[in-house]
Amino acid sequence: MLADWLDEQGGKDNQFRADFIRTHCRLAREEPWAPAWRTLNAHWFKLEEKVSQLALKDKLPWVKHLKGRVRAWYFERGLIGELTLYSKRFVAEGALVLRARPDSRGEVRDAELHAGRGETGSAVRVPAPGADRAASTSTNSRLKDADLNRLGASPHSRDVRFLGLGSDNPLTKAALPKLLKALPLLSEFNFRSNRQFRDGHAKELAKCPEFARVTVLDLTNAALQADGVVALVSSPHATALSVLRLAPEREYERIMRMPACNSPVIAKKG
């Protein structure tokens, strides 16, 4: 509908943005690697490259309200769906950033916080007004228990439902039950490629009563062994668990997801 409206307004800029939105929407609906998908994908990459170039030159009007506030933004269906900003910036003016609408028909859904220089910390996605789910993620942030305790104590984290602690995050087995108790809506965990996640972590998680609300647990390429898997699936609290991922990710699956996923545009420094 927004693409149609932009076409009706006329002008090269509106037509380009309409094409950008419409192509991204169609690409997400097509079966990956099908002939129609390949055609759309080729066109999408040309559009995406132009958008990135315009953004880096400060000539993309769709993101002017984000200049100087965010490190990067990600497009979903041709609209800004996710922001990346440093934790200090979020604390200073997070509400302003999240409430800023890219246009009258769209809104930012999530924000992702990254630790800046000298900061230990996670990337935390916090929902914009009207978001249907909150998310928190951190990858290679080297989060320890004290960092997760601060995350759990933050008033900005109360609505977090998804938490990603993949790769290099050396938390102890005691951290996860505490986090579940501190975040009452948390129901999805992602520990993809976290080699610190071992059987002891799984066993502590399985014993936690709050594990009963966890619906998704991604342990792909984690250091889990058979005992840990048995503890999880036999836990009396695993009643809501509907997705448990253990197998290594295949390369072609990763490639297939890339074009239809969010597309980052990195803002210029300063």
Instruction: Report the range out of 22-31, 163-172, 252-261 with the highest average pLDDT.
Output: 22-31
- pLDDT digit string, tens, across residues 105-129: 333 344 444 444 434 343 444 444 3
Q: Which two tokens stand for residue 98?
A: 């999240």
pLDDT(194) > 90: no
Taking every pair of C-alpha atoms in the chain, what is the biggest distance, in angstroms? 63
Average pLDDT (58-79) is 81
pLDDT(187) > 60: yes
SS3 251: helix
Report the C-alpha gap between 198 and 255 in whole angstroms: 28
Instruction: Check residue 65 and give its pLDDT.
Output: 78
pLDDT(103) > 90: no
Q: Which two tokens stand for residue 61?
A: 């009007």
- What spatial distance separates the first Cα and last Cα of the chain, rounded to whole Å? 35
Instruction: Check residue 195 and give its pLDDT.
Output: 87
Instruction: Check residue 117 and give its pLDDT.
Output: 41
Buried b (16+ CB within 10 A) or exposed e, 150-167: ebbeeebbebbbbbbbbb
Domains and CATH numbers, the chain: 1-59 (no CATH), 64-266 (3.80.10)
111 vs 66, higher pLDDT: 66
Identity of residue 36: A
Instruction: Check residue 120 and give its pLDDT.
Output: 38
Q: Which two tokens stand for residue 209?
A: 């009563």
Q: What does the mean pLDDT of the chain come to?
A: 76
**Which segments within 170-234 are labelled E, that is strand?**
188-190, 216-218
For the entire predicted model, the pTM comes to 0.55
Helices and strands per DSSP (H, E), number in the chain = 9, 10
